[in-house]
């Protein structure tokens, strides 16, 4: 018990003394996650909107694929991307393996189905009169899309927040594609795994506190969004 308490106190000391290593790891984590979620929002939200409002061949197959990829284990995503961006892979020349960009790409692949699917279901659960109203007021398809997204904004934002929560707390992709390189690709989750296995309990604990704070912040945001939606 004393060992846990000591670890916790040391962790707090590291946080309040603005320990460079702790904050760099936190910054790397936030950076790769924000970039990944930014791009998955850019692609996933319009994709979810189109899937929810348009009929096209293969729509059901797309929805099935999205549902399946939501449950993909992160190590499988990591493994697949590793095959593509490793030196011998088709995208090996880009030199993405063991770089923050490579980690972001993996996290993007992880969060894209989440953002797309949650946008799609958020729009599908909107009042059907919304679509008719946009049409009858004379909106073009693009204007209709913008208004539909505006009306379903809380559901869409909730999807983005959930995706961020998923990518910041995952470890498989960051480990396989980032390589856990100190001062370069080390993220909160990979650092916790490594430092704890090395017996550096304090650093792991300090990062765990940060990760918990992020989780708390995300849940608070979700809670607020859901309350506004209700």
Partner 1 sequence: MIPAYEIEGLTFSYGTVPVISLDRLEIPAGEIVGLVGPNGSGKTTLLHMLAFIEEPHQGDIRFFGQTCTESNRLALRRKVGLLLQNPYLFHSTVLSNLTWGLKIRDVPRQVAAEGALKALALVGLEGFEHRYAKALSGGETQRVALARALVLDPDVLLLDEPANHMDKESIERTESIVSTLNREHGKTIILTSHNASTVQNLAHRILYVEQGRVVPASLDNLFSGNLVQDGSVFRTERISVDLPDRMNSGSRLVIDAQQIRLMLDPPEPDLNNVFSGLVSAMTLENGKIKVKVDAEESFQIVLENSDPIVSNIRLGQRCWLHLTPPSIKVF
Binding site for partner 1 (CB under 8 A): 127, 129-130, 132-133, 135-140, 143, 147, 150-151
Pairwise CA distance, residues 202 & 185, whole Å? 20
DSSP-based three-state secondary structure for 88: coil
Cβ-based nearer residue to partner 1, 145 or 178:
145
Residue (101 or 130) nearer to partner 1, CB: 130
> Of 140 and 226, which CB lies nearer to partner 1 in the complex structure?
140
The distance of closest approach from Cβ of residue 128 to partner 1 in the complex, given in angstroms and rounded to an integer, is 9
Closest approach of partner 1 to the CB of residue 150, in Å: 8
Shortest spacing between CB 133 and partner 1, in angstroms = 5
Q: Is 182 helix (H, G, I), strand (E, B) or coil?
A: coil
Alpha helices in 54-184 (DSSP H): 59-70, 74-85, 100-124, 128-136, 141-151, 153-168, 172-173
CB of 153 to partner 1, least distance (A): 8
Q: How many CB atoms lie within 10 A of CB 55?
A: 6
Whether 161 and 225 have beta carbons less than 8 Å apart is answered as yes
User: Which residue, 20 or 229, has its beta carbon nearer to partner 1?
Assistant: 229
């Amino acid at each position: 018990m004393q060992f846990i308490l000591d670890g916790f106190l040391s962790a707090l000391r590291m946080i309040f003394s603005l320990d460079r290593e702790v904050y760099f790891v936190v910054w790397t984590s936030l950076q790769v996650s924000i970039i990944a979620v930014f791009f998955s929002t850019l692609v996933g939200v319009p994709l979810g909107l189109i899937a929810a409002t348009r009929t096209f061949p293969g729509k059901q197959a797309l929805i099935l694929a999205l549902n399946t990829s939501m449950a993909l284990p992160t190590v499988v995503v990591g493994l697949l991307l590793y095959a593509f961006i490793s030196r011998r892979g088709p995208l090996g020349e880009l030199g993405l393996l063991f770089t923050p960009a490579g980690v972001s790409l993996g996290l993007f692949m992880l969060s894209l189905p989440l953002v797309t699917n949650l946008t799609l279901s958020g729009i599908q659960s909107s009042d059907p009169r919304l679509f008719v109203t946009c049409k009858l007021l004379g909106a073009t398809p693009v204007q209709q899309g913008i208004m539909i997204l505006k009306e379903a904004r809380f559901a869409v934002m909730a999807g983005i927040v959930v995706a961020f929560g998923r990518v910041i707390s995952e470890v498989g992709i960051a480990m396989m594609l980032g390589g856990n390189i100190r001062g370069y690709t080390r993220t909160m989750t990979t650092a916790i795994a490594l430092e704890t296995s090395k017996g550096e309990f304090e650093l792991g604990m300090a990062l765990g506190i940060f990760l918990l704070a992020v989780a708390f912040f995300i849940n608070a945001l979700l809670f607020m969004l859901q309350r506004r939606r209700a």
